Structure 1
Amino acid sequence: MALVDLPDIQFTEQDEQTIMNDIKLFYEGITGISLGRADPAMTVLNTLGKYIILQNVLIDRVAKAELLPFANGPILDYLGYFTKTERLPAAYATTTLRFSLSTALVTSQIIPAGTRVSPDNSEGELYFATVRDVTLSPGQLQIDVAARCLEAGEVGNGFVVGDINTLIDPVPYVQTVTNTSVSGGGADVEDDDSYRERIRLSNDSFTTAGPRDAYIYWAKTASSAILDVQATSPADMEVLVTILLDGGELPTPEIIEAVTSVLNVRKIRPLTDKVTASGPDLVEYDLNMTYYIHEDDVAMEESIKAEIQQAVSDYVIWQRSKLGRDINPSELIRRVMIAGAHRLDQSSLLPLYTPVPGTSVAREVTITLNYGGLSE
């Protein structure tokens, strides 16, 4: 999606006929010789013309790469450097671990920072480590502590409560350990599209007057896992920053804390603003769809069914991947029809169109996909 509504731009001429006409006229003007189509010199000029076209295409690409809407990769990093907007590195998934003792102790028990715990069935290839020392007081049987995946990226996301339970570094008297929250917040290095959008927003970061885009810009600097941000003012001198993570996931407490810390720096937050960061409210919906495939496509029946299944999965991700995106059954129908469905049963089709406020996100509850068979 374009950053702004700008016309297309081309820095060099790339039309073959125009370039060949120019070369021919230039040659005839210098030599005083009029060239026919079959003249031997035209072979040389045609070769030169094709080379000039290649050069013009390359020059055009290089020139466009210096403009924010077209820049990619290292060029985008250089543009970010000029606005002091660095590409966000890969983020580490976080969770909360609960350590439980086998018996109450009469002395304090320290669980040191860096104590590693592995997810069940990970075969020792992935670890979460505690981020700080914690101390169990005499008689205390359990304690919670934040932990971070030792491998950056999405690999540490999605471990549900109880999955991370294998203690790698033994601690005296610790009987069990388990995660009490779903791990999340891990993300790969910031991609070009997200980075480009932050560079565009960076101009608003230079003020502390409290513009909406400034809060969005600074919130996104907290983690490369942040996909979407909304800044609203529920009351005078109050700012609510709503966060959504990559893939439409809800922010973890650690991500919310990181955003809150960033936004409350004195150089960023206006003195009179009370800033709160949180995850979005959920607008839940059920998806129910019965579809039919045309009888002429019977030979491709199984592949079309697989394509439709994928189209529904893609729709669910699309629907949950932006704050304030209305629940739109028309988008579901469009995707399924493109995937090869002949028609849908409109009488039982869900979801219904539902507006979603800007600080909320649509979230599926149940997904029911029925194949009605072949249709004439």
Structure 2
Amino acid sequence: MSRFTPVDLSLYPIADIVEALDFESYLARDRATFAQRWEARRLANPELPAVDTLLLESDPSSVILEVGSYRELLLRARINDRLRALTLAGALGRALDHIGVTYYRTPRREIEPATDASPAVMEDDETYRQRLALAPESWSTAGPVGAYLFWALSASGDVLDVAAYSEDEGVCLAPRIRVVILPRDGLTAPEKAALVGTVREALSRPRLRPMGDLVTVELASDLPFNVTAHLKIRQGASAAIVKAEAEKRILQYCSGRLRWVGDDIPGPVWLIGRRLRQATIAAAALGTDANVVEVDVSAPASDVNAPHVDYTEAALAGVGDPGFVPLAPAVTAHLFTAPRLGAVTVTHELVAESWS
């Protein structure tokens, strides 16, 4: 009943590689060093005046020290950024291309070909990063689940999400492998049918598919849903800002996008077979915003794409036995379903709540 879990780079944040940047500590250190050296000069030349105005912003010496500390801050930040660009989690643009080609032998995909009027549209950084994290799985044949995901995602830029299921999930008998794809938005029915053929062909190449695997490719079923959340916001807070941030967090969770690096940077999409819990939607709306006192989610009325009540460990206990019979399609339907977020409505009321 488990599904392959890709590496989530958000669980491994990139710390400051040199050190945490702290302008005030640099300035305090330089002031102390300056005062120490100046006093040493005064011992040799008592006529020099005492320096007791370094903490005043109007003092010329203080201004010079601030400039030096700020330049050090910029230099350390630049070094940190350059070193982050050498990591899979932190690289962007050309740096990520370099990592992908040299370390993973995986170039960026072309989503739309170039025309006379516009250049080619290439795979975005976060989707490319997702495939690179899966790339080691592809170094085997397509036997591992991760390898099926990698090669299906790599087959076309129109593939938004992929899931691969075998007998372990109770949906079929070995050696059948069922690959489910979610197309990008905007494709017509003929284009979706062609995409299924493209992915099937990519996974059927002899150098990829194990000899014993019978691979089928199918489209995921969309499960549209809307979200309606009501916030109780503390008086004095900007309701417009609080609501906008809550809506952004709801969109991030319900669209299946995970943040890998940095705020406001979309991550990979994992929607097929995913269960979106009503309680987690409320928690996403709440976030860590101290201005939100309470959240009530009236839609969806329950969890989205919840497993069938008969999809249990006991039902899968016979997997691998010669007499195992695949579960009924209705019992495993959630594995082939992709929740698709529609409208998000966030309302609010202001409440008098103590800050203590």
| TM-score normalized by the length of structure 1 | 0.57
Aligned partners of 1:256 and 1:277 also within 8 Å: yes
Residue 335 of structure 2 aligns to a residue in which SS? coil
Corresponding position of 1:182: none
Structure 1 residue corresponding to 2:219, chosen from 279, 296, 311: 279
Q: Counterparts in 2 of 1:222-301, with a 5 A limit?
A: 222-234=155-167, 235-247=173-185, 252-282=192-222, 284=223
Aligned partners of 1:248 and 1:317 also within 8 Å: no
The alignment status of 1:324 with 2:273, answered yes or no, reads: yes
Q: Counterparts in 2 of 1:100-119, with a 5 A limit?
A: none
Structure 2 residue corresponding to 1:86, chosen from 107, 111, 125: 107
Distance 1:207 1:334 in 2: 39
Corresponding position of 2:316: none
* 1:38 CA displacement: 3.0
Distance 2:31 2:249 in 1: 53
Aligned partners of 2:14 and 2:84 also within 8 Å: no
* 1:53 CA displacement: 1.0
More divergent stretch after superposition (27-36 vs 303-312) = 303-312
Q: CA offsets per residue over residues 53-76 of structure 1, 9 Å max, x none?
A: 111111111111111111111111
More divergent stretch after superposition (1-10 vs 307-316) = 307-316
* 1:19 CA displacement: 2.2
Q: Counterparts in 2 of 1:192-211, with a 5 A limit?
A: 192-208=125-141, 210-211=143-144
The alignment status of 1:5 with 2:11, answered yes or no, reads: yes
Corresponding position of 1:217: 150
Corresponding position of 1:20: 27
* 1:335 CA displacement: 7.3
Corresponding position of 1:136: none
Distance 1:4 1:309 in 2: 21
Structure 2 residue corresponding to 1:360, chosen from 330, 337, 347: 337
Corresponding position of 2:263: none
Distance 2:343 2:62 in 1: 66
Residue 268 of structure 1 aligns to a residue in which SS? coil
Bigger proportion of residues as strand: 1
Gaps of 5+ in 2: 1-6, 43-49, 55-59, 168-172, 258-268, 308-333
Distance 1:253 1:310 in 2: 33
* 1:277 CA displacement: 1.4
* 1:236 CA displacement: 1.6
Larger radius of gyration: 1
RMSD: 5.1
* 1:290 CA displacement: 9.7
* 1:198 CA displacement: 0.7
Distance 1:20 1:369 in 2: 48
Distance 2:30 2:351 in 1: 60
Identity %: 22
Question: Which amino acid in structure 2 is aligned with residue 326 of structure 1?
Answer: R
* 1:221 CA displacement: 0.8
Corresponding position of 2:84: 64
More divergent stretch after superposition (210-219 vs 39-48) = 39-48
Q: Which structure would you say has the larger RCO, counting Cα contacts within 8 Å and 6 or more residues apart?
A: 2
Distance 1:43 1:291 in 2: 50
Query: Number of aligned pairs?
Result: 280
Question: Which amino acid in structure 2 is aligned with residue 69 of structure 1?
Answer: A
* 1:217 CA displacement: 0.8
Question: Which amino acid in structure 1 is aligned with residue 106 of structure 2?
Answer: T
